[in-house]
Amino acid sequence: MTHDLEVSCRCGKLRGVARGVSPSLVNRAVCYCDDCQLFAFYLGDTDEVLDKFGGSEICQMSPTHLEITDGAENLACVRLRPKGLYRWYAGCCNTPLANTLTSAVPFVGLIRPGIKGVSEASVGPVRMRIHGRHAKGGAQAAGAHPKAPLSAAFGILLKLLRRRFAGEHKRHPLFDPESGRAIVKPRVLEAKELAEVEQARERWLHTG
Ligand SMILES: [Zn+2]
Ligand SMILES: [Zn+2]
């Protein structure tokens, strides 16, 4: 049985759907990496996005599930570094929505709270907690793998190859199928901006 999950920013201007998802089609993970934390700090949205150890919950799936239905003009994209992930959010209210790689990779990671209705029934249990070495309090406190287990990486690679052969990267709603360009030009943070975001994270790491 599959589910259609609502995707929406906090103010409701940007809406979409993750169609036809199921526990076998989604890899539900919590990522504690510094980069995901910095994205939350960039948006000024840490309370709702990060757990107390700094983890972001991400539902990884084929991009073919995702459709933006309303308010696409509010879609914004940032790259923390020139070669960083494409990090998508709703510019109207700074709600984080998704991570992607380039148009060549049939992958999208939808971030809570942008995706609604996440449950064991709809997308399965949290399958992995990764990059715990960046967690506040460390990997052990967060109950996370210090890096990413090789078996997980291998499984994901196989899935990506299978989707790529099926041409699913050509049906990525966040990239133009012809040019391969992101549908919104990503803004790459300037060194000064990145340093400010890093300082905000540092302060948080050393409080409470
Ligand atoms: Zn909004
Ligand atoms: Zn991460």
Query: What would the pLDDT profile of 168-185 be if each residue is shown by its tens digit?
Result: 999 999 999 999 999 999
Sequence-ordered alpha helix ranges (H) in the chain: 34-43, 120-123, 139-142, 150-165, 191-205
Instruction: Say if residue 190's pLDDT is above 90.
Output: yes
Residue 31 C-alpha to ligand 2 middle, in angstroms?
Answer: 5
pLDDT of residue 83: 94
Lowest-pLDDT choice from 24-28, 143-147, 152-156: 152-156
pLDDT of residue 45: 83
What is the fold, at CATH topology level, of the domain defined by 3-205?
A: 2.170.150
Residue 8 C-alpha to ligand 1 middle, in angstroms?
Answer: 8
Residue 165 C-alpha to ligand 2 middle, in angstroms?
Answer: 26
Tens-digit pLDDT profile for residues 70-83 = 999 999 999 999 99
- Tell me what the mean pLDDT of segment 19-40 comes to: 97
pLDDT of residue 152: 83
Residue 89 C-alpha to ligand 1 middle, in angstroms?
Answer: 9
Domain boundaries, the chain: 3-205
Q: Cβ(169)–Cβ(62) under 8 Å?
A: no
Confidence of residue 124 (pLDDT cuts 50, 70, 90): very high
Residue 67 C-alpha to ligand 1 middle, in angstroms?
Answer: 16
Instruction: Say if residue 42's pLDDT is above 90.
Output: yes
Q: Which ligand is nearest to the CA of 135?
A: 2
How many other β-carbons are positioned within 10 Å of the β-carbon of residue 11? 13
The tokens describing 156, both together, are: 């994901």
- Kindly compute the dihedral angle of the four CA atoms of residues 110, 116, 118, 122, in this order, to the nearest 10 degrees: -100
pLDDT of residue 149: 85
User: Which whole-number Å values give the CA distances from 156 to 107, 120, 151, in the listed order?
Assistant: 10, 20, 9
Residue 53 C-alpha to ligand 2 middle, in angstroms?
Answer: 13
Mean pLDDT, rounded, of the chain? 96
How many other β-carbons are positioned within 10 Å of the β-carbon of residue 4? 14
Residue 158 C-alpha to ligand 2 middle, in angstroms?
Answer: 20
Confidence of residue 154 (pLDDT cuts 50, 70, 90): confident
Residue 29 C-alpha to ligand 2 middle, in angstroms?
Answer: 10
Identify which of 142, 152, 126 has the alpha carbon closest to the alpha carbon of residue 51. Answer: 142
Residue 128 C-alpha to ligand 2 middle, in angstroms?
Answer: 12
Instruction: Say if residue 44's pLDDT is above 90.
Output: yes
pLDDT of residue 107: 94
Residue 17 C-alpha to ligand 2 middle, in angstroms?
Answer: 23
Burial class (CB in 10 A: 0-12, 13-18, 19+), 42: buried
Question: Rounded CA gap, 163 and 150, in Å?
Answer: 20
Residue 138 identity: G
Q: Please report, for the chain, how many H helices and E strands are present, in that order.
A: 5, 11
Instruction: Say if residue 35's pLDDT is above 80.
Output: yes
Q: Which ligand is nearest to the CA of 129?
A: 2
